[in-house]
Chains A and B, each alone.
Chain A
Amino acid sequence: MDSKVTQLRHQAETEIAAVTTQQQLEEFRIKFLSRKGLIASLFDALRSVKPSEKPALGRLLNELRAHTQGLYDHKAASLESVPKRRTPMDLTLPGRRSYLGSKHPLSQTLDEIKSIFVSMGFGIADGPEIEDDYHNFEALNFPPNHPARDTQDTFFLSDKNALLRTHTSPVQIRVMEKHPPPVRIIMPGRVYRNEAISSRSYCVFYQVEGLFVDRGVTFSDLKGTLVSFIKQFYGSGLKYKFRPTFFPFTEPSADIYITCFVCGGKGCKLCKQNGWLEILGCGMVDPNVFRYVGYDAEKYTGYAFGMGVDRIALLRYGIDDIRLFYENDVRFLNQF
């Protein structure tokens, strides 16, 4: 068997030297290296040798195969470098693709919002979607039997005390319960409102909540920070205004409006003809909230803000139906 290997090795070396064309090279490959070629037949013969000789002989054969393959590769490379005529390949055939992943437009919008606040020194916190009355309402200064609760359209669970959070604000409470000031965080998450489903509203949506508590935090700081956010997110040319409003957990409170970017402030369907879009609610944390979480309201002040991510994403991508976000048609998702 050994001698056969040596003999074949010489034969291959002699024959490869004579190869000058691609066709001859292919004939060489078939003769020596193909599945029915000379080397393969030696491997077949390996089955009939004594087991004790097998490993050594196997090694020899593998070496022979590797050597012959090397001769072939080398010749192939040298033939390539000579200009020649060959069957033209159709290079217009499509390339081999993979499935591409995509990030949901709501996640993309959330990421953009997060990255701006993270760059301004905010951290990120989260909390549960099933909440209790205390965190969702009471500690946020919504007294029991107060009309302000009506604005929340709450889904309740079968246990009286449990509900689906109507805003991300309870995370404020959970964070302040655990951490003494200073606190500087944003809290993104899913919230629930029992509102009729339409192209403008869905029963589930996303909010980003923000909170900054420390000594000496003022309404003026709140304005500066959120104006910076608005400019980074929407562009610095945009007009904005802060207007008084009411939230139980902040005082003073404000709604922030920006010039409608569809009509540029002239009035259109989107902005209900008044030229402004409401994009953010904010205010100074109410001292009652500090009392609930055990912060000293004389020492510390703070601001909080919240915005609806779905609405921002609708405006940003010019989407006219909020339900598209939750239907997950891949023809929609693949656009982002």
Chain B
Amino acid sequence: MKVLQSWLQQYIEFSLPPDEFADKLSKLGLEFEGVERTGEEYNGFVVGKVLERTQHPNAEKLSICKVNVGTGTLQIVCGAPNVAAGQKVAVGMSGAIVPRNQHDPSGKPLPLSTVKIRGIESSGMICSEYELDLGKDADNILVLESNAKIGKPLAEYLGVADIVYDIETTPNRPDWLSHIGIAREIGAIVGRKPKLPKLKLKEAAIPVSKHLTVKVQDTQNCYRFAVRMICGLKVEPSPRWLQNALKGLNLRPVNSVVDVTNYVMMECGQPLHPFDYALLKGKQIIVRQTKRSSSFITLDGQERKLPDGVVMVCDAEREVSIAGVMGGANSEISDSTVDIVLESAYWNPSSIRRTSKLLGVSTDASQRFERGADPDGVLYGLNRAAQLIVDMAGGELLKGVIDIYPRKVKERFVPLRPERVNLVLGTKLTTVQTVRLLRLLDIVPTKRGSKRLMFRVPSYRVDITREIDLIEEVGRVYGYDKIEDKTTATVDFAHFFPKESHADHVREKVIGLGFCETITNSMQETKKAILGGATPARISNPQNREMDTLRTSLVPGLLDVVARNFNYGNNDLRLFEIGHVFSRDESERPKLVENFLEEQRLCLLMTGMVAPRHWGSPSTCVNIFDVKGKVIDLLEQNGLDKGKFISYSTSDSLVENRIALEINGTYGGYLGLVRAEVLNTFGIGQEVFVAELNLELLAPTDKSLYEPLPRFPKVKRDLGFIVDVGISAEGLQKSIKEFSSGLLQGIELFDVYQGDQLPAGKKSLAFSLELMSPDKTLTDAEIDTEVRNIVTHVQDRFNALLRSVERST
């Protein structure tokens, strides 16, 4: 909301520098978004008096003028034919910038300095209205009123020197959308009430009811509807002061009638609408809803589709205005308008908002009505506008008001317990202090009691209906700064919530494994979002098609990150993200929000070299076993030794060489190589491996009890077997584990060989076995027996050939 300093000062006197003014208002919750001075384009221009005019010796069309500008007398060469001694004129002094240069085809500004014109020195310029951007006449100088004060800054003379405050308002305070509303807040600061303009209406003898009837059919949405009529007026441009006021608020002056309705809205917050009476059919106004969809041309010339159920102001035959939003072109005020009907109403706020949303139009009027205008301001605004219109455009104000008020808004009384103020604010205010603070806002007690008071709330304060609303006002006017900063509320440690989520825990572990954390947008284009396989959730009002679907997997977002980094030459990446994935699901599964599933996941991604390049190590690229190894590291760090990998030869649309992970018997995610077709669509030309895991299942298990350390040394034996290539290492290892007696404490595959040294179709697998007894040091014989039994078992079970047995250290 923009307000003008000079405008505010019509209602309340205050003389504060803008900074201090801003600070004081901000303490009441009115935040300044900007302060701007108007009329600054006239800096260096003053009112001057032409003392003497003589002919220029070297140019027939030029004259030399002596001009008194208050601070001295200047010699100015002037080319205008109308310049004469005794005139009051607008003088631009050396250093000033003329808004429009009449000798420049596009009228660019012209800085002034002392120059010689045909040999005669000239200090400044006597300006035309064109040069001052006040009119079209470029030939003659602008002659000011004869009583203009010599030396007065031109901006002040023109009434354009002002300060515009741009104030941020909140949706609960429609009363702040007017100068009087802001003046009331200033009143609370300076401790005086604003003075409202006095109304003195001169009415003609003929009553308005003779020319017009009004019917309100939609009493659900039209709370109050009032009209006046003015006959025989002449529509002309508004006087300069009114135009300046509107321009200061960035409103375009139109004509006196329209300008007054805008002015009054900005003055007291009441939106008004004028109709050309001659264009209203049947001398009637009817307020009703549209019965079927139709189209309607609004004041701005736009044709709008109206669905049924929109509240309209109509004449006897047709719709003439969208109630509370915008008038129609069919009854607009024009230069030929003679008689007008002026409407002032109070509409159901939610109905106005519905219409505004439905039509996609938001106007100054609809913004005020949907937040809640002042029900008691309807007549004040109407009368104030009627008076100003008659003052400016002439005409006769018909007698009386047609005021239909089907849903009377009652006076509001709100109770307050003074002790409650202190209970909420933490203050120690007395009842007297509380009452005094509220009085500053014109909220006055009507019933006094020691425990409970009743306050009458002004009609424009639509935000105050409950005790807490009054408490807020007390705190606001008292000043938040004066409320003590203390931390004495008791903390009940018996009731507590967790201090860390397991996402936090997992994040630390994954960073420790050398991965960079990323955070990506969860809104994606559909073709990426569906790669996760689940039915995606779609956004009905997306910003664009690239963001119209929610991710069903973290992988596509990370692939975007890979592609971006490849563009900058970073090809060795270890990335991870912890985030939510979403899907539509209409099954009976329990959900927080109907039809949608949400799951928190961890995604690991590896591509490029296994380790940073080093002169002493060979360079190799990551493969599936690097990712698998990281997943195992992570599980082990979280104490999840029950993880089980299930390798499928199949692949899905996202990955191949897919390995599923089971944690404690539940599916916990997968890992694999991203399919080349998928990588292609992201423009990635290098193998990328991913693992995507359900974060919930990665929750660390409760710390189990400490296990005593073994008292006897362990012995290692390495066994090499030659088997068919089709035999899985995991299967063989598992079989050894199951077969062995209690002596086998650990087994690990450490070498795999397949190649020239072996017959075709065979491979060699080498395992390292750890043998140990909890009770004693094992003898060589015991060890040999155990190893022999294992070897025999493997030979029998897998048709294996023993390749080697070695002691290892």
Q: Say if the beta carbon of B522 comes within 8 Å of chain A.
A: yes
- A214 engages B489 (CB within 8 Å): yes
- B541 engages A241 (CB within 8 Å): no
The CA-CA distance from A326 to B541 in the complex, in Å, is 21
Q: What residues of A have a CB within 8 angstroms of the CB of B486 in the complex?
A: 220-221, 223-224
Residues of B762-793 contacting chain A, CB below 8 A: 780, 784, 787-788
Q: Say if the beta carbon of A232 comes within 8 Å of chain B.
A: no
CB distance from B457 to the nearest CB of A (A): 15
- A131 engages B593 (CB within 8 Å): yes
User: Interface size for chain A: under 10, 10 to 19, 20 to 34, or 35 or more residues?
Assistant: 35 or more
Q: Say if the beta carbon of B148 comes within 8 Å of chain A.
A: no
- B484 engages A220 (CB within 8 Å): yes
Q: What residues of B have a CB within 8 angstroms of the CB of A203 in the complex?
A: 521, 523, 543, 547
- A103 engages B173 (CB within 8 Å): no
CB distance from A126 to the nearest CB of B (A): 7
Q: Say if the beta carbon of A274 comes within 8 Å of chain B.
A: yes
Q: A185-B497, A284-B424, A328-B518 are in contact. Are A148 and B171 (CB under 8 A)?
A: yes
Which residue on chain A has the smallest CB distance to residue B537?
A157
The CA-CA distance from A101 to B508 in the complex, in Å, is 9
The CA-CA distance from A329 to B520 in the complex, in Å, is 11
Q: Say if the beta carbon of B539 comes within 8 Å of chain A.
A: yes
Q: Say if the beta carbon of B619 comes within 8 Å of chain A.
A: no
Q: Say if the beta carbon of A2 comes within 8 Å of chain B.
A: no
Q: A190-B579, A224-B486 are in contact. Are A55 and B784 (CB under 8 A)?
A: yes
Q: Say if the beta carbon of B617 comes within 8 Å of chain A.
A: yes
CB distance from B364 to the nearest CB of A (A): 14
Q: What residues of A have a CB within 8 angstroms of the CB of B787 in the complex?
A: 55
CB distance from B270 to the nearest CB of A (A): 18
- B517 engages A93 (CB within 8 Å): no
Residues of A217-270 contacting chain B, CB below 8 A: 217-221, 223-225, 227-228, 241-246, 251-255
Partner of B170, one of A55, A94, A245: A245
Q: A58-B806, A130-B582 are in contact. Are A124 and B499 (CB under 8 A)?
A: yes
Q: What residues of B have a CB within 8 angstroms of the CB of A333 in the complex?
A: 516-518
Q: Say if the beta carbon of B492 comes within 8 Å of chain A.
A: yes
- B493 engages A121 (CB within 8 Å): yes
CB distance from A260 to the nearest CB of B (A): 15
Q: Which of B426, B466, B481, B493 has the most CB of A within 10 A?
A: B426
Q: What residues of B have a CB within 8 angstroms of the CB of A224 in the complex?
A: 484-488
The CA-CA distance from A254 to B28 in the complex, in Å, is 10
Q: What residues of B have a CB within 8 angstroms of the CB of A227 in the complex?
A: 485
Q: A162-B594, A203-B523 are in contact. Are A217 and B507 (CB under 8 A)?
A: no
- B469 engages A251 (CB within 8 Å): yes
The CA-CA distance from A252 to B471 in the complex, in Å, is 8
Q: A128-B592, A162-B594, A330-B570 are in contact. Are A157 and B468 (CB under 8 A)?
A: no
The CA-CA distance from A196 to B544 in the complex, in Å, is 11
The CA-CA distance from A144 to B357 in the complex, in Å, is 13
Which residue on chain A has the smallest CB distance to residue B492?
A182
- B519 engages A328 (CB within 8 Å): yes
- A162 engages B353 (CB within 8 Å): no
- B564 engages A327 (CB within 8 Å): yes
Q: What residues of B have a CB within 8 angstroms of the CB of A183 in the complex?
A: 495, 497
Q: Which of A106, A162, A183 has the most CB of B within 10 A?
A: A162
Q: What residues of A have a CB within 8 angstroms of the CB of B543 in the complex?
A: 194, 196-197, 203
- B475 engages A94 (CB within 8 Å): no
Q: Say if the beta carbon of B596 comes within 8 Å of chain A.
A: yes
- B805 engages A55 (CB within 8 Å): yes
- B519 engages A123 (CB within 8 Å): no
Q: Say if the beta carbon of A102 comes within 8 Å of chain B.
A: yes
Given contacts A107-B519, A124-B497, A220-B483, 5 further A-B contacts (CB under 8 A): A147-B171, A147-B371, A184-B497, A203-B543, A219-B425
Residues of A within 8 A of B (CB): 54-55, 58-59, 62, 66, 93-94, 96-104, 106-107, 111, 118, 121-132, 144-148, 150-151, 155-159, 161-162, 164, 174, 179, 182-185, 190, 192, 194, 196-197, 203-204, 212, 214, 216-221, 223-225, 227-228, 241-246, 251-255, 272, 274, 284, 286-287, 301, 325-331, 333-334
18 residue pairs from A and B, CB less than 8 Å apart: A55-B787, A99-B572, A101-B513, A101-B514, A103-B507, A107-B507, A124-B500, A129-B598, A130-B593, A194-B543, A217-B489, A218-B424, A218-B489, A220-B427, A244-B475, A246-B170, A327-B561, A330-B570
Closest 4 CB pairs of A and B: A123-B497, A220-B426, A218-B426, A244-B29
